[in-house]
A and B are shown apart, each in its own frame.
Chain A
Amino acid sequence: MKTLLTMALGSFLLATTVAVMATLMVSGWGSLPIDRADWTMLAVGFGASLWAVLLVCCLLTARVCEAVLSFSDRLGDPEPCTIPRAPIWMRPLMRSLAQVQQVVLQRESVWQTRLRDLEIRERIADTERARSESVLGVMREAVIVTNAFDEIVHVNAAAARLLRFDVAEAAREPMRKVISDERLCRYISEMRESPCGPRQLDHVVQNADEDPVSCVAMLSTLPGLNGNVASVVTVLHDMTREREIAQLKSEFVSKASHELRTPLSSVQAYVEMLVDGEADDEDSRQEFYGIIQSETERLSRLVDNMLNISRIEAGIVQVDRDSVDFENLIERAVQTLEPQAREKRIAIHRELAPVDLHAVGDTDMLYQVVVNLVSNAIKYTPEGGRVTISADSDHLERSVHVAVSDTGLGVPPDDLGRVFEKFYRIENYKRVAKGTGLGLSLCQQIIETLHGGEIGLESRLGLGSKFWFTVPMCLQSGRETERRAIAA
């Protein structure tokens, strides 16, 4: 570089000397006429000067390019870019380049921030998408999202189950290729073509060889950037369970109403007879009073049982859990019901195994279960029959097993599966004994819902029945037993 500079400087000096000499020859020696050789000399001098100037310009340009290249290499450096031993005439250029570097660094910083922001947003969007997909995945409602071209954008598992298609093969496919329910496809297309706010309509999904599924279809649209419909969101809510519950409720109300109206009829009729003075003598009046009283008690029992069952089903019943001694509980139940059994000359037997008969539970409720079962056995056993209460514990299952057997009428096979239903009474036995039709249902709720046990029935028509239940044994007593065993 230095050589070049020296050559350039030498050339410059030579050219300048030649140019000066030529000028002097032309001007100083003016007396002489300028001939062709003089002009040649002058031209050579200017040519040499011009060459020298061009050479210097090239060298300076090269120097500037070198500085710019060096700067561009270090443009991204946080430190200000400098060129060591830069000549004075390059300092303004260096200052300008430094300013450019500062601007570039500032811009880069802004873009870095924006990039980080975008990355964070992308991660948030990914998380949100995953969360939405999880939510849609666990939803019982079928969700279908279609775009402006009636292509599937998103479907959840419930939609695939309801409309019988494969989720994995649905994405980006034309809606009509995936969903065979033409009426539903038509609703979605109509919604896209003429959006009119969210719509709700009844729809029946009918898959081949399957029962129709009653649904409520809710359709709404999502607008795109240009204001047109970007996608249609369709949610199908299966109403089968709701309709079943409504049906059950309606049946319960109907049965409850029927059971309440019957004793109420007797009460109203006998009261009216008394009011109208149609009971001639004191004996008749006493008979009417007795019937009114017994029917009122029947009503009261019905209402109590209905409320108890409702409370248990609603989960608002208070269970006082304690260690229940079934030996004692059975003894109390027998004492209560013995007068009733004696009237029909029915013998009550106890067969209690000589083992620990403790369980965890609510004493009053379990007492009610035993009384209900023994009372039923007495009611449906002919005079002179036999009722047996047995109790044992199952150490494998860790439960107490209680059974009430009788030599009564037995339960017809068709009724075996229904005797625990609310208000169910064996039609042909209604005259044999009065009842609310709720006793066994209440027993089932107490044993299974509140105590985690089991209740069941074995019966042979004309030979008798055996109602049994199990209640988990007292855990505390188990630990105590272990403790005692360790202490021993």
Chain B
Amino acid sequence: MNKRILVVDDEAHIQHVLSLKLRNAGYEVLTASDGEEGLHVATAASPDLVITDLQMPYMTGTDLCRAFAARQDTKDIPVIILTARGYALSDDDLANGNIKEVVSKPFSPRLLIQMVQSLLDAGEFERAKAA
């Protein structure tokens, strides 16, 4: 069964290009245009991984991570943060939720797919070890 990736970004072009790339790589893709919608989709569809922008209307990427961490059904979802900020996230931001990677824009979709793959593999490995 294909892994399910949720892409949350208010920039339609980024959302579009990431969806295409992920679909071409064999993933099932869900999309959302802001944090609130992202949380709604994540709780309804339980994605295996979330790629989210940082600065979005209604709910920011870090707020979304906090919301994931607060829920039992979403707290373990690995998150990749995409940011157009020129500086690193604070430790306080990184401590929220299950943030695995922070990727600065502009980014290479090719490298992002590799990152997604390795995170999903690591997750499976962890689950197998736990079992």
**Chain A interface residues toward B at CB < 8 A:** 253-254, 257-259, 261-262, 264-270, 272-273, 276, 278, 291, 295, 427-428, 430-431
Contacts and interface: CB of A to CB of B under 8 A. Distances in A.
B11 A262 contact: yes
B69 to A, nearest CB: 23
B57 A269 contact: no
Nearest to B111: A272
B87 to A, nearest CB: 7
30 contacts: A253-B86, A254-B86, A254-B87, A257-B86, A258-B84, A261-B84, A262-B84, A262-B105, A265-B11, A265-B14, A265-B105, A266-B11, A266-B14, A267-B106, A269-B14, A269-B18, A269-B107, A270-B17, A273-B17, A273-B21, A276-B110, A278-B20, A278-B21, A295-B13, A427-B57, A427-B58, A430-B10, A431-B10, A431-B33, A431-B34
Contacts of A269: 13-14, 17-18, 21, 106-109
Contact of A257 (B21, B55, B84, B108): B84
B32 to A, nearest CB: 12
Contacts of A267: 106
A427 B14 CA distance: 18
Interface in B66-85: 82, 84-85
Contact of B86 (A258, A264, A270, A430): A258
Nearest to A260: B84
A245 to B, nearest CB: 19
A408 B75 CA distance: 40
B11 A272 contact: no
Contact of B13 (A266, A278, A430): A266
Contacts of A258: 55, 84-86
A331 to B, nearest CB: 34
B24 interface: yes
Contacts of B85: 254, 257-258
Contacts of B108: 268-269, 272
Which secondary structure dominates where chain A touches chain B?
helix
A430 B10 CA distance: 8
Given A261-B84, A265-B14, A266-B13, A273 B106 contact: no
Contacts of B55: 258
A163 B16 CA distance: 60
A431 B106 contact: no
A415 B55 CA distance: 17
Nearest to A258: B84
A265 to B, nearest CB: 4
Contacts of A272: 108-110
Contacts of B107: 265, 268-269
Nearest to A294: B13
**3 A-B pairs with least C-beta separation:** A261-B84, A266-B13, A265-B105
A264 B110 contact: no
Contacts of A273: 17, 20-21, 109
A409 to B, nearest CB: 13
A291 B13 contact: yes
Given A253-B86, A265-B106, A269-B107, 6 more contacts: A258-B86, A261-B84, A262-B105, A265-B84, A266-B11, A427-B57
Contacts of A278: 20-21, 24
Interface string B33-52: 11000000000000000000
Contacts of B24: 278
A228 B106 CA distance: 64
A262 B54 CA distance: 12
